[in-house]
Structure 1
Amino acid sequence: MIATHPVQAAMPLAEQSMQEFLHKASLMDHDHGPLLAGEEITTYFHLHNFDIARQVLSNATDEQHQKRLPFFYSPAHELRAKLGQGKHDRGEAVVFAGAPISEHDAKGIHRHFPVCVKGVSVLHKVVRKGETWDLTMPQEIWNLGEMEELYTIVNIGTLALEEGARVVIRGNVFSMLCQRLITLGDPGKGLDYQIGVLPTPFSVDFGHGPQNGVHGKAGVSGLNGLDGIPGFAETSILGRWIPEQVFDRLPGTDATDAEDGADGGKGRNGGMCKLAEITIRELKGRLHVYSAAGAGGDGGDGGDGGHGGGGGNGAPGLDGFNIKVPGGNGGNGGHGGNGGRGGNAGHGGLSSNIYLNVPETAVDQVNMTAPGSIGGMSGKGGKAGLPGKGGKAVSMDNATLNGLPGTDGQAGTPGRNGLNGRGRPAAVCYLNDLIYQSSFSSPKHLYNEIKFQRKS
């Protein structure tokens, strides 16, 4: 699949830069003619083994790989080493840090080949003021599931970013080779950046459903009991006469119990930030590279328990000269429903390494920011349902004819709150293959900003 777009002409590259640009284009089978004429070419293809993948995806030399490998695995990598993501990490170490393929991983890693790649080449690209060039390749291109890893390669001669312009990648492994980057304006900190290595726009876990857990439904309240049906008497010269009749309907009926509130749904894990290798041969202006994995989804609140129904009232007794009938008892109240449990929140997303290489003379022009991801907020437990009241018994002058009141139902128990999600470590940033200490030292306000954006 190929897409071409005309772009503006630009100042020519030096011969060495042009040769590297065209060589990279050849690795992706991009025709030199249209590129030199100013067209942008996008293709989608497969890489079938590690040797080809390393050659096409990584722009680092063997010496750079040797420098990277001893520091490739951070404590965060060790924590997930036994998970499926750990195998992906070790595969990335092979491609981007020259690691050998371990016998233990060989079968599992090779099963992921061929890998799906999007390749973009353009000799000159201008991203206008306030615009975003989103290079993400979605799963739909290959009809793949969300758990599959995708790769995007960008090969640029000259890239000009006007004030407020951005280049972003969302959840693809990202390889960018730019011969000349020109940035206008002075980027600030936090979310003011020019290159964003952002998370997948979806959760990467084995769950399903929305990012935030759904709230549990409230339990249905119990039905009220029916009042007792009074008996009847007749008047005679001897006084009140009670004719023969059915007296078993004098008591009020019991109410029904309420339903429990449903549990809140679980929040899902935040989106993942994949590894990025960004190589810039010439930098004019300042550059801010930013990366943060997605926040975990909030757990849904548990549903409130329903209220117990009220017991029916007993009918009055009958006092006749021929028979005396006690009044009906009041019906028992229904029990209140239990509150549903609040859903557990999702954990913050995982992040992989970010490699940025610029000329040594341009190191002071660079800022890299990578806060850790944040976990979601737990769902609140549902409230307990109230107990139903017992039905009343009618009091009469003849106390022996009084029925008994019904008993009150029991209140439900409140649902337990869910568990908060855990935050995950930030991406480890490398500038010219040395660990970069992010200037971002107080992530609290940035976390809040990310959280607000997600909720809105």
Structure 2
Amino acid sequence: MIAQIQQKIEHQLSAGNLDEFISRAGFMSHSKEKLMNNEEITTYFKLNTFETARAVLSSATDEQREIRLATFFNESLINRSRLGQGKHDRGEAVVFANAPVSDKDSKGINRHFPVRVKGISVLNKIVPKGETWDVSVTGEFWGIDEMEELYTVLNVGTLVLEEDAKVVIRGNVFSMLCQQLICHDSSWAYNYQIGVLPTPYSVDFGHGPHNGPHGIDGRWGRPGTAGTPLPMQNSILGQIFLDEENTGGLSGTNGEEGQPGTNGVKGRNGGMCKLAEITIRNLSGKLVVFSQAGDGGDGGNGGNGGNGGNGGDAMPGQKSFTKTVSGGNAGDGGNAGNGGDAGNAGHGGIASNIYLRIPQEAISNVTMRSYPSLGGLGGNGGKAGIAGMSGNAPSPGDEALNCKAGKNGMDGTNGKDGQHGRSRAGANLYLNDFPYPGD
């Protein structure tokens, strides 16, 4: 099947389309000879200036980029303009919308040069039924951390996406130039052919897993030990103590305190969808472009507080014909541990602009979908531990022999529930450089 399609798609590009494909490949030093033999070429390189970045990363004309500038800084981007991402947004506006470099940004933006780029060129490509062509690159390849911005350029002559096949980018700034895109029908109405997806990791300065780990339950307090009855023996005069000098030990000991539960850990923020410029010169079939940033991680539950230990029982007093020993004190119950506070949830990931350019006559065959990212769920606070009960204090009826009661411990307090994360707006969509009107 693939071989048959391959024969059909080869050499169908017009001279102008082929020239643009070869020209874009030349920016990435991809061999024309190898490409014409249908070799797929992938290289990794760096760009050092805005001028070279614009030439390699953007297929738009100066006029098209100037149209974009009027709506580039939408509400989502304005709201984060003071954050670190705001500086990235303004740098992308220079490349993809011909914005000037502001004086206040020039020093900070220039620190991000050279930018790291993965470049792919292939004359004819078929993605088989149900498969995904992931063209992303991660910081691991470059030996850098996850917070650094990465770029992918995809340059294709003819791309065939069979049923339920798709191309995805995960968290890279994405530039796609395709001379001819052939999309087969999907088996699912909500499927898509091009996915601008989030980074496969949280974009924040935290550490640890996406969902916050739960707190650890507090250790229960050990119970107190009971008092020891006084040993007696019979004599001709009645009962006497075995040891007249050692008549202690009737009191129970206190129960230990329960330990508090530890706090749950905060959930991480969702992965981010980066800017994408997708240029399709010819389209056959229906195309759906989809984007949704990552959901925030759930906060960890707080650990439950440990129960307090029960106090030890007291032993009643004893009488001999020479001595009376009062009853012991019952042990106090141990206080219970507090429940740990739950972790707050992470916020949904943020998203950037997505630009799709297609022939005007193909607009009716295009759908663009962008959904908000969801905030995570805050964890549940740990439950309070239960106080230990005082030990028993027997009262044999003779007040001189009665035991003294202990005190019950105090219950712990419940931990606080974590706050839910915030949802974040989806990517702003642009079709032929103007805001996309929606479904």
Normalising by the residue count of structure 2, what TM-score does the alignment of the two structures yield? 0.97
| C-alpha distance in structure 1 between counterparts of 2:108 and 2:131, whole Å | 40
Identity %: 55
Alignment-derived partner of residue 240 in structure 2: 241
Shift in Å at residue 140 of structure 1? Answer: 1.3
Shift in Å at residue 8 of structure 1? Answer: 4.2
Alignment of 1:210-229 (within 5 A): 210-229=209-228
Q: Report SS of the residue matched to 2:40.
A: strand
1:201 and 2:200 correspond: yes
For residue 424 of structure 1, what is the amino acid of its counterpart? R
Q: Report SS of the residue matched to 2:44.
A: strand
1:336 and 2:355 correspond: no
On the 8 A contact 1:268/1:345 being kept in 2, the answer is yes
Q: CA deviation digits over 1:393-417, x for unaligned, max 9?
A: 1221312211112111000000110
Q: CA separation of 1:231/1:336 partners in 2, compared to 1, >3 Å: closer, same or farther? A: same
| C-alpha distance in structure 2 between counterparts of 1:186 and 1:334, whole Å | 65
Alignment of 1:32-431 (within 5 A): 32-186=32-186, 188-190=188-190, 192-242=191-241, 243-431=243-431
Alignment-derived partner of residue 28 in structure 1: 28
On the 8 A contact 2:138/2:146 being kept in 1, the answer is no
Q: CA deviation digits over 1:48-93, x for unaligned, max 9?
A: 1111001100000000011000100111111111110000000000
Shift in Å at residue 19 of structure 1? Answer: 0.6
For residue 415 of structure 2, what is the amino acid of its counterpart? G
Alignment-derived partner of residue 19 in structure 1: 19
Q: CA deviation digits over 1:86-130, x for unaligned, max 9?
A: 000000000000000000000000000001100000000000110
Question: Unpaired runs of 5+ in structure 1?
Answer: 1-6, 440-456
| C-alpha distance in structure 2 between counterparts of 1:361 and 1:343, whole Å | 52
Count of aligned pairs between the two proteins: 432
Q: Report SS of the residue matched to 1:54.
A: helix
For residue 120 of structure 1, what is the amino acid of its counterpart? I
| C-alpha distance in structure 1 between counterparts of 2:6 and 2:323, whole Å | 109
For residue 109 of structure 2, what is the amino acid of its counterpart? I
| C-alpha distance in structure 1 between counterparts of 2:186 and 2:324, whole Å | 98
Shift in Å at residue 189 of structure 1? Answer: 4.6
For residue 230 of structure 1, what is the amino acid of its counterpart? P
Q: CA deviation digits over 1:367-408, x for unaligned, max 9?
A: 000011000000000100000000111221312211112111
User: Which 4+ runs in 1 deviate beyond 3 A?
Assistant: 186-190
For residue 204 of structure 2, what is the amino acid of its counterpart? D
Q: CA deviation digits over 1:326-366, x for unaligned, max 9?
A: 11110000011100111100000000000000000001100
Q: CA deviation digits over 1:290-338, x for unaligned, max 9?
A: 0000000000000100000000011221111111101111000001110
Q: Report SS of the residue matched to 2:204.
A: coil
| C-alpha distance in structure 2 between counterparts of 1:232 and 1:204, whole Å | 71
Shift in Å at residue 233 of structure 1? Answer: 2.0
Shift in Å at residue 145 of structure 1? Answer: 0.4
On the 8 A contact 2:301/2:380 being kept in 1, the answer is yes
On the 8 A contact 1:8/1:38 being kept in 2, the answer is no
Q: Report SS of the residue matched to 1:272.
A: coil
Shift in Å at residue 232 of structure 1? Answer: 1.9
For residue 153 of structure 2, what is the amino acid of its counterpart? I
- Farther off after superposition, 399-408 or 21-30: 399-408
Shift in Å at residue 281 of structure 1? Answer: 0.3
For residue 28 of structure 1, what is the amino acid of its counterpart? M
Q: Over the residues paired in the alignment, what is the CA RMSD in angstroms?
A: 1.1
Q: Report SS of the residue matched to 2:425.
A: coil
On the 8 A contact 1:187/1:288 being kept in 2, the answer is no
| C-alpha distance in structure 2 between counterparts of 1:238 and 1:188, whole Å | 100
Q: CA deviation digits over 1:144-184, x for unaligned, max 9?
A: 10101000000000000011100000000000000000011
Q: Report SS of the residue matched to 1:277.
A: strand
Shift in Å at residue 188 of structure 1? Answer: 5.0
| C-alpha distance in structure 2 between counterparts of 1:329 and 1:438, whole Å | 78
| C-alpha distance in structure 2 between counterparts of 1:247 and 1:266, whole Å | 56
| C-alpha distance in structure 2 between counterparts of 1:403 and 1:19, whole Å | 102
| C-alpha distance in structure 2 between counterparts of 1:245 and 1:361, whole Å | 109
| C-alpha distance in structure 1 between counterparts of 2:186 and 2:437, whole Å | 20
On the 8 A contact 1:329/1:392 being kept in 2, the answer is no
Q: Report SS of the residue matched to 1:382.
A: coil
- Farther off after superposition, 394-403 or 355-364: 394-403
On the 8 A contact 1:224/1:309 being kept in 2, the answer is yes
Q: CA deviation digits over 1:250-273, x for unaligned, max 9?
A: 110011100001111100000000
